Structures are given as C-alpha cells and as structure tokens.
Amino acid sequence: MTRADLTVARLLLGGADRREWWRLALTALGAALGTVFVLCAITVARIEADWNPQDAAAPGWARQYSSELLSDPGSRRGLVVAFLLLLVPVLTFVGQCARLGAARREQRFAALRLTGASPAQVHRIAAGETALVGGAGATAGTGLFLAVRAVLDAANPGPLRLDIPPEAQGGRGGTDMFGSTHVIERLLYPTDVPFSWGWAVAAVLAVALLGGLTTRLALRRVSTAPLGTARRAPRRVPSPWILLLLPASAVAAVPLTALTRDSAKPPFAALLLCLVCFVVGLLTSTAVFSLVLGRFAARRGNSAALLLAGRRLEADPWAGARTHAALVLCTLVGAGTLGVRESVLEGLAAMNPGEEPDPYYGAAFGLALLALAVALAVGAGGLLVGWVESVTEQRRTLAAQVAAGVPASVLRRALLWQTALPLVPALVLAGVGSYGYLVPVSTGMYPLPLFGPAIAVAVAVAACLAATAAVFPLLRRSVHPAELRFE
Amino acid sequence: MSASPTASAAPLLAARGLHLSHGATPALRGASLTVSAGETVAVTGPSGSGKSSLLHCMSGILRPDSGEVRLDGERLDTLPEERRSALRRTEFGIVFQFGQLVPELTALDNTALPLLLGGARRKEAQETAGAWLERFGVRGQAGLRPGEMSGGQAQRVALARALVTGPRAVFADEPTGALDSLAAEQVMTALVHAVRESGTALLLVTHDARTAAFAEREVTVLDGTVHDPSGRSGPPAAASATGGAAARRTGEDA
C-alpha cells in the first residue's frame, strides 16, 4: 500500500454519495463491533490474579470477581479466545460489505484502470478505502466500549465482606494478624482493569488492517478491465461428490467415538481429522445443494417461484457461499454447545440429586451461547446485506417481471426458496453432525441429548428466513413501475 | 487536410497484422496502422467494423490474439498488464464517449488522478490539473462531480485528464458521440489545438465525417482491416494471410 493508493482511497471516500453511504456505514459498524470484541479480549487478558500466584492450589485466581468465569484463569483464557473468535463472523461481514454496490464499484474500478491503475493497485485502493472506514468505525467502537464500560462500572456492586482464607497473601483482602477481615470489592465485571490507550490504539489499527486485508481477499477474484467489464474468475462447479465426506467421516468417527469412551488412550488425532473432513464437507455443501436442488427445483418444481429460485441457484451456486459457511459453522458449534450443555447439566443433576447445579456452568454456557447468538446475528446480517444488494442490482429486471404479470408474491417466495434450498439441508446436517459427533465426543455421555441441537437448527433456520423476509419492503419498492424508467 | 510535418519520421506507434476476436466474433482481421509523433489520425468506418478494437489494441487496453503493436519500436502487446497500465498512466491519454470519469471525484481530482496514481503529491497534482482545466475552459467546474456537469463539460474534463501527464499519444474513441453539434465542435477544437501545441499524437475513432475532418490523416476500417489512402500503414489485410506474428502472451492478462 503506497501513499498514492491511500490518497486516492481518501479522495474516493470524500466523494462518496448517498448510494455509497450505507455500504460505508455497514463497514464501519462491523469494524466498531470487532473493536469492542478485541478490547473485551484485551481487558480479560489483562486481569491480574488477586490470589497468590505462588499458591500451588489455585495459581492465577482472581478473587475480586463474583463470577468464576473471570476468577478462574482457565475460563479467562477461554473467554479471550471466544472474544477473538467473534472477529471471524465480523470480518466476514466486513468482506461482504466490500463486495456491495458491484455496479458502482465496477464503474469506479474501470475508470481507475483506464487512467492507468494496475489491477493490483485498484485492489489496494479498495483495501485502503476499507481500512480508512474501518479505522473510523474502530475508533467509534472504542468510544462505545468506554461508554459500556462506564455503565458496567456503575452497575458493579460496592465493597463486600468476604471470607478470605488466611493463606491469601499478596491479595487485596484477607485476615490480618489481628484477626480483622479486610474488605475487598467483589465485581461482576472487570472494570477494575485500567483502560489502556496504548492497547486501544493497537486494537483500532489491528481491526482497520484486518478490514483492509479482508477486502483484498474478498476482491481477489474480481478483476476489472479498463473497458468496464468486471470479470469474476470462473469458479469450478461444485462437485456433489464432496458431500460423501459427510457420511464417510461420520462412519469413521463411530468406532473412534466408542474408543474415546472406553479406551485409556483416546484417538483424538484421528477424531480431529474426521471432524475436519466433516466440516469441510459441510461448508461446501451449500454450494452443492444450490446446484443440485436448484436444478431439481427448476426441472421438477411446479411453481413459478421454485422455477425462478432454482434457475438463479443453478446459475451461480457459489453466490453467498461465504455467508452460508459462517451460518453453517455457527449452527454446528451452537448445536454442539447446546447439546453439551444439556448433557452436562443432566449429568450434574444425576450426580447430586435435589441440589442446584453449580452456577458456574450455567454462566459459562450462557456466555458461550451469547457469543454464538452474536455470531448468528452477524451471519444473518450478512445474508440480509447480500439480498439487499441482489435486489438493488436486479430492480429493473424485477420491475419488468412484475410489469409483465409476475405477481410480487411469487418474487418474494422465490427469494425464500433461494435461501431455504441451499441452507436448510446444510443447517440440518450441521445439527445432525453436532448431535452424533460433537456432543458424544465432548461428553462421552449417552443417550444423546436431542433437544439442544434441534433448537439450534430451528433458531438458525428461523434467523435465515427472517433475514430474507426483511428484504421484502425493499423488494416491494424495487418492483414499482417507476424503476422501468431509470437505469 | 495538410500533411503532418512529422509524417515522414519513424512511426511512434505501429500496429501490424492485428487479429482480435470477441468470443466467436472476429473484430480485427490483420489490421495494420502507423501513427507518427505529433500526427492526428482519424479512424472511420461503419459500426462493428473494428475501429474501437483497433484503438483498444494500440493503446494496450486489449491484447490482440495475434499481430504486434510497437511503441517507438518496442513491443507493447507482449508487456505484462502492470507495464501496460503504467504506459496508460504516463505515455498515453485516453478519452471515451462517456463514463470514463470516476463518479466520486471532483473535476479537479479526476484530472489529477493519473498524477496521483503515479505518486505525485496532491497539491502539485492539483495545480497541474487546474492549469489543464483552465486550458479547456472548465476551471469554474473544478469542484463539481461528473454527475453535476453537462456532457460537454465532462468531456473537456476527460480531455484535460488525458493530457495532464504530457502523454505522447492520445486515444479518443468517439469523444463527441454524446454531444450536440456545437459542443462537439468546441470539444474537438480544444482537443486538436491542445495536441498540436504539445506535439502529442492523436488517434481519433469516429463515425462522424465532421469530427474526422479535424484530423490530418484519415484511414477507414472495413471488416477488421485498415484501408489507408496514404499507403503508409501497408496494404490492407496483407498480414492476414500469414496471420502476422503469433501472439506471445506473457504476464498477466487484463
């Protein structure tokens, strides 16, 4: 990235009109959200152990918090990883935003190419644009983080008397040699960790940089010629055979799972390989379903909506593959988490009948599910953004169809079919995968819990269909006859 | 039309035996054309004859399927995309009928764009761009975006942008195609005056006889071959029999 690239990117941003604002606003929103997650991860990572670190019984414990998720060093590491993993859907969303406004973008890219910008330079300028917008969004995200932190700080309870064991030396509380109990603050949130501007600047820069890199990656297949014909490098038609990875890895995993339960040396490496094969098959499955089910629906479907949806899916089976992959992954992990949660809580109830299970587990699973809900919302948002873009670009064609007598309701149903045909089977497969694979491997418990994974799949399907239905108002405006008068 | 003072000099640009197909449709079938430094050449012919394809190949926008294009004796068509892009930024200026300006940029920034892409500082680039806008009579529109200007004004900005780097050749593809006759005459007068003053060669593609009359030399493209009454571009379709030099595709394609 040269100074010239950044200068041109800045000029392009300065001249962005209303049609571009929503793309830039969504990019900034994604960057803001990503920065909040990074700052949360940094805060948790910077929690100082209050418990004596030399104490072999509980090294690294931070007793100043009421939740063990923050006190337990192992849980804290998990939290940091979870916050950082949330960057994945957020960056996918930012990448999706870079691909929006394709017609406008092609015009801009072609004009730059005609003026002498090389293909790589055009991509660098686009990445610079995202990095600049991402930087602004990330700065706003830092402000949001500080505001939420202030609210949480006010919500933290005041000093509480604690029963601190006498061996707790070096901590903030304890019983002194005269037997009086020290008072320490027991906090719900880690607002005692001082805010570091150095870390905040690093987070803003990292998110802006990652945004730029994601854009570069998202546009890598888009090459624009100076004459304005944007070409997408042809992608291989997905092979239905890749779906065989799913039953093959599942069949291979069954005896391995049994070994995990019975053997002293569980074959985790082999199981991991099976899981990787399963996930690869699952992530590619939406493109295969688009092609196969799209073709089937177009040939055998007995409604106009199915015909339209089928042909569109068949024409571009990879459309939305990234967003689909994020949603499928989310469902897989979500179904697994709900299944494991159900298993663990049932196990605890069986071990200690009549007692309330340790709230630690409830809180841990609650937090994990919250993170997954955020990831699912971001994924569904990506789906919505994709539909908005698609409808905006096709508005003239759509208006012409309605003018020619196609009922608007058929177009709405076609959109729902376009979402459902590739996604529903893939999401169900994700649930089945979690049910038969993740949960038993993680817990070794049988019978398998069914309710959790089923709920996860249902929620994911509902979120996808709701995101698609959210584009209906735009569709209604787009098919207005006035659209036929304008390019 | 008067003969160019540089007409007898070694050609600045020379295309030999160009063949180009768009899918299954042939656009050029052994087209050859030479343009000397500072010369203004009009390329005329009916729609679909291959005029624009010839211009695109000679400016390095498209790579011919076979044949060769030379700039100062050096092969242009075999250069990788990065180098051809750099040529468009430094040695060539390009003007189309419309749609060539970046919609987000003001007239001033659009004109300064080739300089900025080349690494010039914004202030210096804008000063040079401002001077060119002044020459084309659109200094007052410097702060406007393409959507806020008339067609004639936008074309003048495009001309200023094409000339801002001091190129050796300007390629103009129907530059007045979207303008009324008065605006077209004003734009052509400004363009021809500017290229003559700066000694820049002009390859002008047009189907309009009045626009072609601004050039010193006129050639006609028919069915993908060039018919040059001056005989300087070689016999029409002579190279098509042998197919010219085989294209040696190197580097990255456009």
Interface test with B, best of A114, A124, A132, A229 (most B CBs within 10 A): A114
pLDDT of residue B247: 35
Least Cα separation, residue B251 to chain A (angstroms): 13
CA distance A305 to A120: 41
Would an 8 Å CB–CB cutoff place A18 in contact with chain B?
no
Residue A368 and residue A331 in one domain: yes
A280 vs B238, residue with greater confidence: A280
Residue A141 and residue A12 in one domain: yes
Least Cα separation, residue B158 to chain A (angstroms): 10
Whether residue B185 lies inside any domain: the answer is no
Residue A228 and residue A306 in one domain: no
Whether residue A485 lies inside any domain: the answer is no
Structural domain of residue A48, as residue ranges? 1-234
| A 99-128 near B (Cβ less than 8 A) | 104, 107-108, 111-121
Which tokens is A211 given? 């945004």
Predicted confidence (pLDDT) per residue in A400-446, tens digit: 788 777 888 999 999 999 999 999 999 999 988 877 766 555 555 55
- Judged by DSSP in three states, A476 sits in helix
Q: Which residues of A touch B88 (CB under 8 A)?
A: 114-116, 226
Which tokens is A442 given? 């993680």
Structural domain of residue B114, as residue ranges? 102-155
Last residue of a domain, one of A234, A250, A278: A234
Nearest-Å Rg of the Cα atoms of chain A is: 26
pLDDT of residue A217: 83
Whether residue B164 lies inside any domain: the answer is no
Whether residue A52 lies inside any domain: the answer is yes
CA distance B154 to B136: 11
Residue A175 and residue A246 in one domain: no
The stretches of A73-158 forming alpha helices (DSSP H) are 73-85, 87-98, 102-114, 119-155
Last residue of a domain, one of A185, A201, A234: A234
Which residue bears the tokens 């820069």?
A205
Cβ <8 Å between B61 and A7: no
Whether residue A487 lies inside any domain: the answer is no
Pick from B94, B145, B254: CB nearest A225: B254
Cβ <8 Å between A15 and B88: no
pLDDT of residue A175: 52
Nearest residue in chain B measured CA to CA from A20:
B104
Phi then psi for B23, rounded to 5 degrees? Answer: 65, -125
Exposed, middle or buried, A369 (CB in 10 Å: 0-12/13-18/19+)?
A: middle
Predicted confidence (pLDDT) per residue in A153-173, tens digit: 888 766 555 555 545 444 444
Q: Which of A90-94, A309-313, B93-97 has the highest mean pLDDT?
A: A309-313
Contact B98, A4 (CB under 8 A): no
Nearest residue in chain A measured CA to CA from B146:
A15
Predicted confidence (pLDDT) per residue in A173-205, tens digit: 455 555 555 555 577 788 888 889 999 999 999
Cβ <8 Å between B61 and A114: yes
Residue A222 and residue A243 in one domain: no
Query: Residues B245, B224, A106, A315: what is their CA dihedral angle, to the nearest 10 degrees?
Result: -90
Residue A274 and residue A230 in one domain: no
Whether residue B127 lies inside any domain: the answer is yes
Q: Which residues of A touch B145 (CB under 8 A)?
A: 15
* Mean pLDDT of the region A460-473: 95
A236 vs A239, residue with greater confidence: A239
Last residue of a domain, one of A210, A234, A258: A234
How far from B232 is each of A53, A80, A396, B133, B206, CA to CA, in Å? 90, 74, 49, 35, 20
The stretches of A171-267 forming alpha helices (DSSP H) are 197-218, 245-262
Least Cα separation, residue A118 to chain B (angstroms): 5
pLDDT of residue A209: 93
Nearest residue in chain B measured CA to CA from A5:
B117
Q: How many domains would you assign to chain B?
A: 1
Whether residue B135 lies inside any domain: the answer is yes
Of the candidate ranges A70-79, A323-332, A392-401, A443-452, the one whose mean pLDDT is the lowest: A443-452
pLDDT of residue B237: 45
What phi-psi label fits residue A369: left (phi over 0), alpha (psi between -120 and 50 degrees) or beta?
A: alpha
ipTM of predicted assembly, 2 dp: 0.71
* Mean pLDDT of the region A386-404: 82
Residue A116 and residue A248 in one domain: no
Phi then psi for B14, rounded to 5 degrees? Answer: -140, 120
* Mean pLDDT of the region A320-327: 85
Pick from B88, B104, B106: CB nearest A108: B104
Predicted confidence (pLDDT) per residue in A49-103, tens digit: 765 555 556 667 777 787 777 888 878 888 898 888 888 888 888 887 777 766 6
Q: How many domains would you assign to chain A?
A: 2
Whether residue A486 lies inside any domain: the answer is no
Whether residue B7 lies inside any domain: the answer is no
Whether residue A101 lies inside any domain: the answer is yes
Residue A387 and residue A266 in one domain: yes
B232 vs B89, residue with greater confidence: B89
Whether residue B63 lies inside any domain: the answer is no
B159 vs A233, residue with greater confidence: B159
Residue A322 reports pLDDT greater than 50:
yes
Whether residue B245 lies inside any domain: the answer is no
Residue A147 and residue A171 in one domain: yes
Residue A317 and residue A335 in one domain: yes
Whether residue B20 lies inside any domain: the answer is no
